[in-house]
Amino acid sequence: MSWAQAILLARGASRGWGGICSTALTGAPFSQVPPQAPRGLRCSAAAHNPDSSLVPHPPEPPRRPVKALAVHEELFRPALDGARNKANFVRAVQNFTEYNVHKRGHVDFIYLALRKMREYGVERDLSVYNLLLDIFPKEVFRPRNIFHSIFLHYPRQQECGIAVLEQMENHGVMPNKETEFLLLQIFGRKSYPMLKLVRMKLWFTRFKNINPFPVPRDLPQDPVDLASLALRHMEPDLSARVTTYQMPLLKDSPNAMDPTETHIVGIQSPEQQSALACHDPARPIFVEGPFSLWLRDKCVYYHILRADLLPPEEREVEEIPEEWNLYYPMQLDLAYGRSSWDDYEFNIDEVEEGPVFAICVAGAHDQATLAKWIQGLQETNPALARIPVVFRLSGSSGELLPSSSELEEPPPPPPEGQEEEEDSQQRQQQGQS
Amino acid sequence: MALVRKLLNGTYILRKCPKPRVASFPFLGTRFADYCSSSFQKPVAAPGKASSQRKTKGNLEEHHQREVALEITSPEDKPEISFDKAIKEEMKDHFRRLKDDIVKYWIGPEGRPLHEVLMEQAKVVWQFRSKEDLDKWTVTSDKVIGGRSEVFLKMGKNNQSALLYGTLSSEAPQDGESGRSGYCAMVSKIPRGPFEMKRSYDWSQFNTLYLRVRGDGRPWMVNIREDTDIIQKKDQMYSYFMFTRGGPYWQEVKIPFSKFFFSNQGRIRDAQYQLLLDKISSIGFTLADKVDGPFFLEIDFIGVFTDPAHTEEFAYENSPELNPRLFK
């Protein structure tokens, strides 16, 4: 802002500034010095008494290190009720437009508002973005002749418009017709913000539905619901059943000092049940975990119940008897001479791992909680009672453990130590094999 | 437009790419543009992973020393460090590779008979069964520009897969220039022939990329870079998204090459063209979904194959609004 504008502000709008400052500065500490020249002028004009040189000053309160405030940051001070929500944000923006008819410093204000959106929780709200775009004066920045359109007309404002659209894009907010109309009014059809809007509309619509495993935008807050959503997300078998083995204790109960009751939710499909029923009781099965699963921005930790792979000599090939289907043969051993043009298989042995029998999400990652899960599983899988279960729990590093040596529960080591352990184990394996 | 881009590049460095179902463009700043070309790379050395640059004298000596250690020789038998010897070994190695190359050329492309190569429908390009396979990859994170993300690459369970893991942190570096941060990338090294000549992959008879991965639900971005000898192509790449499901089951990801969109200097361009498969130099996986926290991705192998059901040539038509020049 030029000094002339500053003086105009100080003189002309001083009553308005005083109004804002008095309402917004109720909670502000006294020692914060307004950094701007016009407000300095105003403050000095108000507080400069000729008596101040004669009367001794009271001792000044100790100054805390002052962070330099941005230009209009006092508008975003928390209001009387202190809540940072959409209403207060909208109120702050409207305060700017009311008390500043000529909208001086609107570019800086919009940048500041964009930074503050995350605190107020409105970064995904399209109406708030439209409100911010509404701050721009209309029809002023539109190019009117060819010279305007050759040179970037009002570059700071165009950059600011692009910054608003860019934050929308970062948070995945799709612009609508109101945004388009606002940009048209403000910048005109051939401007860069308009071009960016066209690009956003094009690429957003192209990439909107490319996720084959979509996760809803509003994740449930309840841990049990989140756990069942996570389990359904992981398990491809649609006939799997989600069972809640334990509900979490309410936190406001008086004896919440020993929170042993966390939620335990598990999932198992009928195929896994039958596989567990045919599992050989001589071989142990392992509870492994915790592994991390990310749903948008929430991380859920899950444990799996799995068995090791059978060595090749013990694997049985299931033979389907010929009478199983009388209409057509289930196995054909025709030796057609097919060459490599029909071979769509990759020339590599895929990683084979043991079968997974069940997955669960629990609030705590210790053996006691998982033991409760196993007990709950025993109700639907009676065969589990005879099979030894070994707990292979690691620290919550999210790495999958090697399927090698240790059979007792290792104490949760720090991640670096764990890597070295695994490296040395692998080297031992390689040395032995 | 160039002026605006210069203005914008000053402030808008390192935005990135979406959470699932949200479209966004890869915005990588000019500083990050070189992450794929091996000459300017600062790879993050992973614990337990062999060093990335093989062709330095020191590493050659390390190789010798490692081999010596495995043979369990007596401690007095020190390996001799001789500069001339190392240079001679390296020259001999290169000439040997040149001879192999010429001999292989007579047999067929890449040493396999022509009829086998022509009729091949599925090919494994990168597999992770030993530590040498990890040497073909480089991992980068935003530590290069001063961020806090960490990424490591190591062999997974039973040496059967590769595990890329680490922590993503989107805290922006306080260098006055970057507004956002938080990315991790794993890039393959450009295939080299004898005397370090740059080679490229020829996948022109395949039409789909196949990955067998096990992730944690985070969305990754797959970037393919073409032959980068021409300086103007230095920052161009073709990208698409890979969504991992998470969970204990292996996931097969099939991305047809027609779905890759073109981007230059980290920005998706208005003029799109299909990915031409005859000179592919490297592939990379990037994670930058703006969510702080640990991540991991286990990769079994990466291959290319021909999907006979996929007949699309290019998924994105050029739009007359964005590119009126193309429609005149």
Residues of A in contact with B298 (CB under 8 A): 400
Total domains in the fold of chain B: 2
When CB atoms are compared, the residue of B8, B20, B152 closest to A215 is B20
When CB atoms are compared, the residue of B156, B216, B300 closest to A293 is B216
Q: Which of A132-136, B13-17, B48-52, B279-283 has the lowest mean pLDDT?
A: B48-52
If pLDDT is split at 50, 70 and 90, which confidence band does B167 have? Answer: very high
pLDDT in tens, B119-157: 889 999 998 998 898 999 999 998 998 888 999 999 988
- Would you call A198 an interface residue with chain B, using a CB distance cutoff of 8 Å? yes
> Does residue B22 register a pLDDT over 50?
no
Residue A33 tokens read as 């010095």
pLDDT in tens, B268-286: 998 898 899 999 999 999 9
Q: How far is A171 from chain B (nearest CA, A)?
A: 8
Looking at the DSSP bridge assignments, the partners of residue B313 are: none
Q: How far is B124 from chain A (nearest CA, A)?
A: 6
pLDDT value of position B157: 81
More confident residue, B31 or A291: A291
Comparing alpha-carbon positions, the chain B residue that sits nearest to A306 is B248
More confident residue, A101 or B46: A101
Residue A398 tokens read as 């999210």
B281 and B134 in one domain? Answer: yes
The Cα–Cα gap between A10 and B18 comes to 45
Residue B264's SS3 state is: strand
Contact B20 A199 (CB under 8 A): no
B203 and B150 in one domain? Answer: yes
Show me where the domains of chain A are located.
66-208, 216-248+261-312+353-396
B247 and B107 in one domain? Answer: no
Contacts of B284 (CB under 8 A, 6+ apart): B36, B185, B186, B187, B188, B222, B223, B224, B225
B276 and B152 in one domain? Answer: yes
- Would you call A322 an interface residue with chain B, using a CB distance cutoff of 8 Å? no
If you average pLDDT over residues B222-244, what whole number do you get? Answer: 90
B153 and B117 in one domain? Answer: no
Q: How far is A174 from chain B (nearest CA, A)?
A: 9
- Would you call A259 an interface residue with chain B, using a CB distance cutoff of 8 Å? no
- Would you call A207 an interface residue with chain B, using a CB distance cutoff of 8 Å? yes
Looking at the DSSP bridge assignments, the partners of residue A393 are: A289
If pLDDT is split at 50, 70 and 90, which confidence band does B34 have? Answer: very low
Contact B212 A206 (CB under 8 A): no
- Would you call A421 an interface residue with chain B, using a CB distance cutoff of 8 Å? no
Comparing alpha-carbon positions, the chain B residue that sits nearest to A338 is B119
B266 and B172 in one domain? Answer: yes
The Cα–Cα gap between A329 and B295 comes to 47
pLDDT in tens, B66-104: 444 455 556 666 667 789 999 999 999 999 999 999 999
Say if B53 falls within a structural domain.
no
Say if B35 falls within a structural domain.
no
The Cα–Cα gap between A276 and A355 comes to 9
Asked whether the beta carbons of B297 and B244 are under 8 A apart, the reply is yes
User: What string of pLDDT tens digits covers the 433 residues of chain A?
Assistant: 555 555 555 555 445 444 444 444 444 444 444 444 444 444 444 444 455 557 776 666 666 656 666 667 777 766 656 677 888 888 888 888 888 888 888 999 999 899 888 888 888 999 999 999 999 999 899 999 999 988 988 999 999 999 999 999 999 999 999 999 999 999 998 899 999 999 999 999 999 999 999 999 889 999 899 999 999 999 998 998 898 888 887 655 555 455 567 889 999 999 999 989 988 888 899 998 789 999 988 999 999 998 988 887 767 777 777 777 788 877 777 777 677 778 888 888 888 888 899 999 988 888 888 888 999 999 888 888 889 999 888 865 444 444 332 333 333 333 333 333 333 333 333 433 3
When CB atoms are compared, the residue of A203, A347, A403 closest to B157 is A403
Instruction: Give the end of a domain, one of B74, B102, B121.
Output: B121
pLDDT value of position B175: 83
Give residue B219's domain range: 124-305
CATH code of B201's domain: 2.60.120.430
Say if B18 falls within a structural domain.
no
10 Å CB burial of residue B309 (0-12, 13-18, 19+) is exposed
| Measured CA angle at B164 (ends B160, B165), to 5 deg | 125
When CB atoms are compared, the residue of A170, A345, A423 closest to B24 is A170
Give the CA-trace dihedral at B206, B211, B217, B220, to 10 degrees: -60
- Long-range contacts, stretch B3-8, CB < 8 angstroms, 24+ apart: B3/A152, B4/A152, B4/A155, B4/A158, B4/A159, B4/A192, B7/A155, B7/A159, B8/A159, B8/A162
HEC per residue, chain A: CCHHHHHHHHHHCHHHHHHHHHHHCCCCCCCCCCCCHHHHHHHHHHHCCHHHHCCCCCCCCCCCCCCCCCCCHHHHCCCCCCCCCHHHHHHHHHHHHHHCCCCCCHHHHHHHHHHHHHHHCCCCCHHHHHHHHHCCCCCCCCCCCHHHHHCCCCHHHHHHHHHHHHHHHHCCCCCCHHHHHHHHHHHCCCCHHHHHHHHHHHHHHHHCCCCCCCCCCCCCCCHHHHHHHHHHHHCCCCCCEEEEEECCCCCCCCCCCCCCCCCEEEEECHHHHHHHHCCCCCCCEEEEEEEEEEECCEEEEEEEEEECCCCHHHCCCCCCCHHHCCCCCCCCCCCCCCCHHHCCCCCCCCCCCCCEEEEEEECCCCHHHHHHHHHHHHHHCHHHHHCCEEEEECCCCCCCCCCCCCCCCCCCCCHHHHHHHHHHHHHHHHHHC
- Would you call A145 an interface residue with chain B, using a CB distance cutoff of 8 Å? no
Say if B135 falls within a structural domain.
yes
Contact B8 A162 (CB under 8 A): yes
Asked whether the beta carbons of B283 and B203 are under 8 A apart, the reply is no
Q: How far is A166 from chain B (nearest CA, A)?
A: 9
10 Å CB burial of residue B92 (0-12, 13-18, 19+) is exposed
10 Å CB burial of residue A386 (0-12, 13-18, 19+) is exposed
A103 Cα distance to chain centroid: 35
DSSP annotation of B279: S
pLDDT value of position A332: 75
Say if B130 falls within a structural domain.
yes
When CB atoms are compared, the residue of A166, A214, A351 closest to B160 is A351
Say if B29 falls within a structural domain.
no
Q: Which of A167-171, B24-28, B69-73, B112-116 has the lowest mean pLDDT?
A: B24-28
- Would you call A293 an interface residue with chain B, using a CB distance cutoff of 8 Å? yes
Say if B151 falls within a structural domain.
yes
pLDDT value of position A87: 87
Residue B110's SS3 state is: helix
- Would you call A111 an interface residue with chain B, using a CB distance cutoff of 8 Å? no
Contact B23 A350 (CB under 8 A): no
Residues of A in contact with B20 (CB under 8 A): 211, 213-215, 296
A330 Cα distance to chain centroid: 49
pLDDT value of position A67: 64
Say if B203 falls within a structural domain.
yes
Residue B271's SS3 state is: coil
10 Å CB burial of residue B59 (0-12, 13-18, 19+) is middle
Contact A206 B23 (CB under 8 A): yes
- For chain B, give the number of residues: 328
B149 and B285 in one domain? Answer: yes
Contact A359 B248 (CB under 8 A): yes
Residue B197 tokens read as 């000549």
If you average pLDDT over residues B200-216, what whole number do you get? Answer: 92
B232 and B115 in one domain? Answer: no
If you average pLDDT over residues B157-173, what whole number do you get? Answer: 89
Q: Select the residue from B5, B24, B205 to test the A interface by mutation, using most A Cβ atoms within 10 A.
A: B24
B204 and B102 in one domain? Answer: no
B196 and B110 in one domain? Answer: no
B136 and B107 in one domain? Answer: no
Residue A363 tokens read as 């609030």
Q: Which of A382-386, A404-408, B7-11, B289-293 has the lowest mean pLDDT?
A: A404-408
When CB atoms are compared, the residue of A158, A159, A400 closest to B157 is A400
Computed over every residue of chain B, the mean pLDDT equals 79
The Cα–Cα gap between A66 and A34 comes to 10
Give the CA-trace dihedral at B14, B18, B22, B27, to 10 degrees: 20
Asked whether the beta carbons of B247 and A303 are under 8 A apart, the reply is no
Q: How far is A292 from chain B (nearest CA, A)?
A: 6
The Cα–Cα gap between A289 and A391 comes to 9
B280 and B156 in one domain? Answer: yes
Contact B119 A203 (CB under 8 A): no
Percent residues over pLDDT 90 in chain B: 44
Contact B155 A426 (CB under 8 A): yes
The Cα–Cα gap between A152 and A139 comes to 16
